[in-house]
Amino acid sequence: MVMDCQPFYSYSRNALNMAAAMKAQKTGLLELRVTVDRWIRVLATLTEDTLTVNPGEGVEEPAKPNPSGPAGAINGDPPNLSSSPVPETITNVKRTVRVTKQDVGGLGISIKGGKENKMPILISKIFKGLAADQTEALYVGDAILSVNGYDLREATHDEAVQALKKTGKEVVLEVKYIKEMSAFFKNSVSPGATLPWDSPPSSPHRGAELSPAEVKEPCSIPLKMCQVSRKRCPPDTENRYFEVISSSRRSSVFLRAKDPAMAQSWYNAIQAGAASLLPRVMEEMRSMQLGVEVKHLGWIAEQVTQGPEKPVLAVLTDRDLVLYPSLPESRESLGNPTKSHPLIATRLVHSGPGKSSPLLDSDLSFGLRSGTKQGVETHVFRVDSAKELSTWTHLVVEGCHNAAELVKEVTAACSWNGKECTLGVHIDEGFTLFTQEMGVRKSILLQQPFERLRMSSDDGVRMMFLDFGGQEAEIQLDLHSCPKTIVFIIHSFLSAKVKRLGLLA
């Protein structure tokens, strides 16, 4: 779907095409999704800094009529889709339907929904004359509960597709008709060509569907910090979809190539174009906020406990990992991220496929834990490729070590043996308990190097325990707030010291 793409109203179409062709790095015909089930052909042009899609004289992909089916449509459905009347008596009643698959056309249905969409697996279309239609016992809006005894009630869309594809000639479906879903699918049907097992996804963006008049003009998305993704697309069994989203998150195009090779070629080319502009973006950020060293930035997806994942622009500096909803274009927006993780109080705890991912290249993610005054926070981020995962993993670990070397020392007010004092932790000098007046250290109560630390622990509320052995044994410090921040910093100092010895890769 196109959302608020930037039209070139000040140029004629011929002038635009000529200018784009002069510096085009890649051109070709693709299909642009206009509504859930409707695509139009477009000429895509990729230059050094812009992706332009031009409807030109492209025509909407027509419906493919079934020559043996009725000439007319039922309830607005195109003639190759079946829309049999549904008996009221079957609503919300489990039914078992036996389907004999055909050599051509398989089951003859399309499905939508899935666990990731918080919906059951639903029959969205039944194609006339094919196996499901011939049973006269299946309806649009039927939820598929199981296939040949395999439970689909908690299945993702892709899992359901694979389960249905792997069935033999005889298929036993347990279904339940959901009337509300049937009404939704009938209203969304359009004459766009749809083949069995081709279930065009809903865009992650919930913008209004565009009328044909709104896609007659060319539109462009700047490559500067745009996001191009294939993982964000809902299950794509043919591996032909990709989406390009502008840095502001206000513009996007959802595109389909003729085959997987072409889709990957466009994906790689757009990624390469965006990557070539990264140095310019990093320099602009440095100029907006002097003293901040930007090490890396890119789009990642934050996993949340409830609801869909949240795309964020992650910026790794010499001290922090900061997250933005879109590319900051001003000093004010750069200084107001949605979240900031101090690297010295952050550690990497996971990198690789998710625990629930059966495939090595699916759901690649890395997990971070941060010590805060509220306790330990855990955040998981998904990336699109193994290369991105390797880059972020390496740079985050390296950034935590470098931040420890850069900060060198932290202090925190505390109480020890009933006396108010200050705890200082220095990467080289170790632990110091001291009193101070007017910001000046007055007397040292205790001093121990890192090498003497045998064990550290905390109660997660306000107490921290440090065991240096010897006469002092374990000392108990009341930090007056959650000790997790200082505990994570101690870990970072220790890790950085080990790195100095060359014991970490």
191 vs 307, residue with greater confidence: 307
Structure-block tokens of residue 38: 């409707």
pLDDT for 214: 52
Rounded Cα distance, 185 and 33, in Å: 18
Average pLDDT of the residues in 122-133: 87
Residues 6+ apart with CB under 8 A from 405: 427, 496
Structure-block tokens of residue 58: 């492209």
125, 185 contact by CB (below 8 A): yes
Q: Is residue 185 very low, low, confident or very high in pLDDT (cuts 50, 70, 90)? A: low
pLDDT digits (tens, 9 = 90+) for 26-81: 888 999 988 777 888 888 999 999 999 988 543 344 333 333 333 333 333 444 56
Rounded Cα distance, 157 and 197, in Å: 11
CA 137 to chain centre: 39
The amino acid occupying position 32 is: L
381, 303 contact by CB (below 8 A): yes
Question: What is the overall mean pLDDT for the chain?
Answer: 81
The CB density around residue 94, as the number of other CB atoms within 10 Å, is 12
Cα atoms in the 13 Å half-sphere on the side-chain side of 93: 10
Cα-based torsion angle of the residue sequence 287, 288, 294, 298 in order, rounded to the nearest 10 degrees: -120
104 vs 116, residue with greater confidence: 116
HEC readout, 212-276: HHHHCCCEEEECCCCEEECCCCCCCCCCCEEEEECCCCCCEEEEECCCHHHHHHHHHHHHHHHHH
Residue with tokens 């299945």: 155
pLDDT digits (tens, 9 = 90+) for 261-305: 999 999 999 999 999 999 999 999 988 887 788 999 999 999 887
Tell me if the pTM is above 0.85. no
The amino acid occupying position 327 is: L
* DSSP 8-state code for residue 486: H
Rounded Cα distance, 121 and 105, in Å: 20
Whether the per-residue pLDDT at 128 is higher than 70: the answer is: yes
